[in-house]
Amino acid sequence: MPTQRDVSNHYTQGNLTAAILSGIESLGKTINSVTVDELAPVDEFHIGGRQASEDFLGQLDLSPEKQVLDVGCGLGGAARFVVSRYGSPVTGIDLTPEFVDTGKVLCNWVGLDNSISLHQGSALAMPFADRAFDRAYMLHVGMNIDDKAKLCSEVSRVLRQNALFGIYDVMRVGDGELAYPVPWATTAASSALATPSQYREALQAAGFSVLAERDRRDFALAFFDQLRARTAVAGPPPLGLHILMGRNTPEKVQNMIQNISSGHIAPVELVARKE
């Protein structure tokens, strides 16, 4: 079972802001001209990137009057997309200090720091008032949190009645040993995968009703095929997830493809409503 320190250490690189700035300059841009869309390849740290964000978050009925919570916000990429696309103010929380600090810098660069508030902390004990939000989502977060019941209970606490909660996580969909490392864990001991049914049970126990579920296995494999084809031709892009995953990015990506292709895991969407 991963500890909070294990998770934070796994994601900490030590030079993220400088690495992203270097990528921006390689694109011929500056911190004053870079856009939310141009940052998407590096700051949307989940299978499918921007396309996955559009497909998933489009199901949550977002609008400017909705107060939105981003659970495990990372660098805030999804939050910046939500604000720029839907106008919804977003509050994010993430365990990794470097992610939060870098995310605040990126929000400032694109002029969204007044619409997005990022906080360092645990999703199991959030520093937010009861019933503070109209919507919540998390993208590729639960694989690092063993206590799904506590996670769903805490999200339920800060959501208003009839609020929607969207989850887009990598989940266990079949038996068999996984190849490690993967983007969220170096070994099985630091991974907290669960099945869709375990997520549903945790949601229902926390007062949610599940409205929709979608397995995104085929979408994920197509995404990785396209990623490999682009990388084979041009190498890693100036801004890409290799900045977050480090030097063993190819191994992590290859293991992800193998684990998904073998039917052991898949990214799955769940959308639930708080009763």
Residue 120 sits in a domain whose CATH number is 3.40.50.150
Q: Domain limits at 146?
A: 4-274
User: Which is nearest to 97 in space by CA: 80, 81, 117, 121?
Assistant: 121
Q: Is 108 helix (H, G, I), strand (E, B) or coil?
A: helix
Q: Is 137 helix (H, G, I), strand (E, B) or coil?
A: strand
pLDDT at 105: 98
DSSP 125: S
Q: Using an 8 Å Cβ cutoff, are 75 and 99 in contact?
A: yes
Angle of helix 97-109 relative to helix 36-43, nearest 10 degrees, comes to 170
Backbone angles phi and psi of 18, in degrees to 5: -65, -40
pLDDT at 227: 85
Distance separating alpha carbons of residues 251 and 179, to the nearest angstrom: 10
Q: What is the pLDDT of residues 148-159, one digit of tens each?
A: 999 999 999 999
pLDDT at 185: 96
> Which residues make Cβ contacts (< 8 Å) with residue 88, sequence separation at least 6?
62, 63, 64, 66, 67, 68, 82, 135
pLDDT at 96: 97
Q: Using an 8 Å Cβ cutoff, are 166 and 57 in contact?
A: yes
How far is residue 197 from each of residues 124, 148, 166, measured CA to CA in Å?
A: 20, 11, 15
Of how many residues is the chain composed?
Answer: 275
Distance separating alpha carbons of residues 175 and 220, to the nearest angstrom: 19
Q: Confidence band (pLDDT; 50, 70, 90) for 236?
A: confident
Indicate if the alpha-carbon torsion angle 114, 120, 123, 124 is positive or negative. Answer: negative
* pTM score of the predicted model: 0.96
C-beta atoms surrounding 114 within 10 Å: 10
pLDDT at 228: 85
Q: Using an 8 Å Cβ cutoff, are 265 and 193 in contact?
A: yes
What is the number of structural domains in the chain? 1
C-alpha triplet 92, 93, 94: angle, nearest 5°: 130
Give me the chain's average pLDDT, please.
96
State mean pLDDT over 179-187.
Answer: 96
Q: Using an 8 Å Cβ cutoff, are 252 and 10 in contact?
A: no
Q: What is the pLDDT of residues 70-85, one digit of tens each?
A: 999 999 999 999 999 9
Q: Using an 8 Å Cβ cutoff, are 66 and 135 in contact?
A: yes
